[in-house]
Amino acid sequence: MITIYVDNQAYQAKAGGNLLEAVLSLGLNLPYFCWHPAMGSVGACRQCAVTLYKDEQDTQGKIVMACMTPVKEGLRISLQDRQSRDFRARVIEWLMANHPHDCPVCDEGGECHLQDMTVMTAHDYRRYRFAKRTFANQDLGPFVNHELNRCIACYRCVRFYNDYAGARDFSVLGCHNTVYFGRSQSGPLESEFSGNLVEVCPTGVFTDKTLKEHYTRKWDLQTAPSICVHCGLGCNTIPGERYGTLRRVQARYHSQVNGYFLCDRGRYGYEFVNRPERPRTAMIRRDGQLAAASAEAALAAARELVGSARGLAGVGSPRASLESNFALRQLVGAENFYSGQAPWLDDCVREALRQLQIGPATPSLRQVEQCDAAVVLGEDVTNFAPMLDLAIRQAVRVEPMELARQLKIDLWLDGPVRELIQDRRGPLLIASPAATKLDEIARWTYRSGPAGVVRLALATARELDASLPVPDGLDEPTARLAKEVAAALAKAKSPLVVSGCGCGSVELIQAAGVLARALAKVNSAARLSLTVPDCNSLGLAMLGGKNFRQALEALRLGRADTAVVLESDLWDLAPTDAVESALAGKRLVVLDHLPGRTVQRADVLLPAGTFAEADGTLVNNEGRAQRFFQVFPPQGDIRQSWRWLGDLAGRNWPNLDAVLAELSSALPDLAPATGAAPQANFRIEGLKVARQSHRYSGRTAITADVTVHEPKPPDDPDTPLTFSMEGFDGIPPAALVPRFWSPGWNSQSALTRFQQEVNGPLRGGPAGVRLINPGSSGGTAVSAVSGESDQAGPQAGRLCYQKLLVVPAWHIYGSEAQSMQSPALAGRAPRPYLGLSPADAAQAGLQADQRITAQFDGQSLSLEARILPSLPRGLAVLGMLAGQPAVQLPAIIDPPPKGAP
């Protein structure tokens, strides 16, 4: 800590940052535009001017840009002196010269950084009398709206989109006063992170297109802290609700998890909550037809079914909370509790859990960003765990940044550092069946099926740890690559191994563990990151239910005649025939919020709350338990799953804390999950935290069309939040932050007020808690993986042209069932396809986009052929799309015959 003087007052600041960061961390107001905490300083907008004084005697001072000035001991600046105040006022007047008269119809209005900064500099009257420049807008696809008239040319968008997220289809065009930020022509933005433009842009150039369909101002949104449910990374979000529908999702800063950003699946996948097709009423099957019933009647019917069952099978869900799954486990008994993850993925998730328990430690996304060498084994992280892609894109810059360090350039000086680094990138290996988006930044790419990737991993491990055996069937190029990669990893300060469930290969996860441990012997900073398919896959695995195969077995053999299915579509888990034959004559109680075949087949349907209508805890891929909170009270019959199940089991839990207490005593391993967020009786200054902003409007008119007598706000017994504008409105503990707002800071930029320091953790303690401590669980370290178990099929490299090995290909838009209900996202999903290498396609006589029928074990799929030049021969990829019939992968199939024309 060093001392700086602002307006002759001494403050303690952190050394090493820039002045703007220091000033903002001190809670002082200084306007800025081009600086962004994640992207550093470029000094482009000239807005954060302050007067810098030589010493105490200096009365003249000079104007400097705070974002470009390093903090030094004894620095003297003034924010309030006339000189810099005038300067800032002039700058904003220039920036505003062409800004249109749009605020009332601008979606950014009310959460606009430009509005805030204009008010902060007290610019209130436009002197510019000439015609304003205008731009034609582009259609940037279903996610982001473009309104370039409002641009103030701060360059944050290109700096995020191109420099930070690494996409290339967007840039600055034109010159002088008419620079154009857009694509070379209209078309959807290609980056998976395009939605962040909405938050990065300080004004209304880029706005949320899905929000536009049901537009609501920030102050009118009822918000609560939540966790993204669309992949296994557990990004923190702030969903906003108005009039009973979810309106948008914004990123909730978490210093360890997602930082400032979200992927487009997480941001735009929310609309499944609002779908009209969603089950919203309790239903009972009468005379073969599902008929609406009261919640109580349905509950009684379900209780009757469960009570009279000769054997129960409870199917949990990787997309339901820990509490809901635990409630089901309590209802049916631990021995009748089955995982609702597809069996082949379930095997992988359990293996991933085992590897995480053995170690080495798994990194948070923030730590991934700081790794200086990475190998990605068999994963297409961009599509399977998108935010990990963004983290790896930052990680490859870490090694070259050493150059800047040597030249004593501050790393927050984004311009010089990028200029210096140019295209230099740290070591990154992408070993995967097909090309991935990260290939463009990889030093090495390796195309092979899972077995080949396992061999490469084991060979690399062997290079690092000579005590390991040499894998069988290692070919010369792979061995050479392994040697090269091993050398780079050994040299790295904090190397990282990334793998996961994306390939459906248990061996691959084991091999990743072996490599990481070999690496850890060389460098204790080595980390192992494993991806999982769903938001609570790991939590479900930790609850320890049996595999879904056994559930089908139990049902088929009649050991169970009643199945209770929690937020899962059984048809997504196993081939249609297997599911239908197992369920024949069985009774089905279904709790879900998505329409699906299981819901159609239900004997009793209990409508469950989505993440926005429920409270619960999710465990992400690093074993971090994080709490999500109801954004709005469920309407009609809808209840939270754990509440349905608790009522069904006669538990009558008074609130969520009671479930967690029972969970802690039943499963001590999961006990720390209780501490993921403050309990329901938590109060600040005697108040609960308000979900509605203090400006929330329409309280006495919203329901006035039904009755003028305003209802009492709903109670929330489960959380320390309230469905009201009355409550604590300051800075609550990090896990309870419902929105970022601070006086004078209405945009997301207010979050600097919530951080302990810029890019630091939020004030008020940590959010979420790690449940896995490597080495503590007593799992035995497996030092080697037999490469043989995967060798039944053709091995990539050893060509066998008779059969195809099919591995999954994941899609950010399409693979996840909930987000596929969002129209914006569904529109960008591919049609079901089978990807073939050109050679295989040619041999089978297939053209691109031709319809084919692929015969899998127990399931035939009608697909489109796609020719993927990157695929090795003998390997095929099946697009994993929500709602298509389930198949077990990896699978060996015959090359598909041409389908009917």
Partner 1 sequence: MISILRSIWLVFLHALHRRVTVQYPEQAIRRPPRFRGRIILSRDPDGGERCVACYLCAAACPVDCIALQAAQDEHGRRYPAFFRINFSRCIFCGFCEDACPTYAIQLTPDFEMSEARRQEMVYEKEDLTISGPGKYPGYNFYRVAGLAIAGKGKGQAENEQPPSDPKTLLP
Binding residues for partner 1 (CB under 8 A): 100-106, 109-110, 130-137, 147, 149-150, 173-176, 178-180, 182, 212, 214-217, 219-220, 243, 695-702, 704-705, 707-709
Q: Are 646 and 327 in contact (CB under 8 A)?
A: yes
Closest separation in Å from C-beta 709 to partner 1: 8
Please, which residue, 85 or 214, has the CB nearer to partner 1? 214
Closest separation in Å from C-beta 703 to partner 1: 9
Please, which residue, 146 or 319, has the CB nearer to partner 1? 146
Q: State the DSSP code for 78.
A: E
Residue 870 neighbours by CB under 8 Å, 6+ apart? 434, 435, 447
For 657-705, give the secondary structure using H, E and C: HHHHHHHHHHCHHHHHHHHHCCCCCCCECCECEECECCCCCCCCCCCCC
Closest separation in Å from C-beta 726 to partner 1: 12
Closest separation in Å from C-beta 205 to partner 1: 11
Q: Are 464 and 786 in contact (CB under 8 A)?
A: no
Please, which residue, 182 or 793, has the CB nearer to partner 1? 182
Please, which residue, 107 or 716, has the CB nearer to partner 1? 107
Please, which residue, 72 or 101, has the CB nearer to partner 1? 101
Q: Are 295 and 637 in contact (CB under 8 A)?
A: yes
**What is the token pair recorded at 827?**
């529109």
Closest separation in Å from C-beta 226 to partner 1: 23
| CA distance linking residue 649 with residue 810, whole number of Å | 38
Please, which residue, 121 or 216, has the CB nearer to partner 1? 216
| CA distance linking residue 176 with residue 179, whole number of Å | 6
Please, which residue, 54 or 695, has the CB nearer to partner 1? 695
Amino acid in the structure at residue 397: R
Closest separation in Å from C-beta 98 to partner 1: 9
Please, which residue, 215 or 682, has the CB nearer to partner 1? 215
Please, which residue, 708 or 900, has the CB nearer to partner 1? 708
- Gyration radius (Cα) of the chain, Å: 28
| CA distance linking residue 726 with residue 713, whole number of Å | 10
Please, which residue, 180 or 444, has the CB nearer to partner 1? 180
Closest separation in Å from C-beta 745 to partner 1: 17
**Neighbouring C-alpha atoms within 13 Å toward the C-beta of 267:** 27
| CA distance linking residue 613 with residue 631, whole number of Å | 6
Closest separation in Å from C-beta 574 to partner 1: 43
Closest separation in Å from C-beta 416 to partner 1: 27
Closest separation in Å from C-beta 244 to partner 1: 11
List residues bridging with 241 in a β-sheet: 222, 246
Q: Are 245 and 214 in contact (CB under 8 A)?
A: yes
Please, which residue, 693 or 815, has the CB nearer to partner 1? 693
Closest separation in Å from C-beta 180 to partner 1: 3
Q: Are 41 and 67 in contact (CB under 8 A)?
A: yes
Closest separation in Å from C-beta 752 to partner 1: 24
List residues bridging with 788 in a β-sheet: none
Please, which residue, 207 or 626, has the CB nearer to partner 1? 207
Give me the residue label for tokens 């992949």.
231
Q: Are 721 and 224 in contact (CB under 8 A)?
A: yes
Closest CA to 464 of 482, 449, 441: 482
**What is the token pair recorded at 548?**
């879904």
Closest separation in Å from C-beta 773 to partner 1: 48
Give the number of other CB atoms < 10 A from CB of residue 662: 17
**What is the token pair recorded at 666?**
């039943």
Please, which residue, 129 or 408, has the CB nearer to partner 1? 129
CA distance to 222, 252, 266, 593, 669, per residue, from 208 (Å):
17, 16, 13, 25, 41
Q: Are 387 and 233 in contact (CB under 8 A)?
A: yes
For 30-68, give the secondary structure using H, E and C: CCCCCCECCCEECCCCCCCEEEEECCCCCCCCEEEEHHH
Closest separation in Å from C-beta 36 to partner 1: 24
Closest separation in Å from C-beta 132 to partner 1: 5
Please, which residue, 54 or 699, has the CB nearer to partner 1? 699
**What is the token pair recorded at 665?**
């005593």
| CA distance linking residue 827 with residue 658, whole number of Å | 42
Q: At what angle do helices 641-648 and 656-666 cross, to 10 degrees?
A: 70
Please, which residue, 149 or 258, has the CB nearer to partner 1? 149
CA distance to 423, 440, 492, 772, per residue, from 370 (Å):
18, 19, 11, 21
| CA distance linking residue 195 with residue 261, whole number of Å | 9
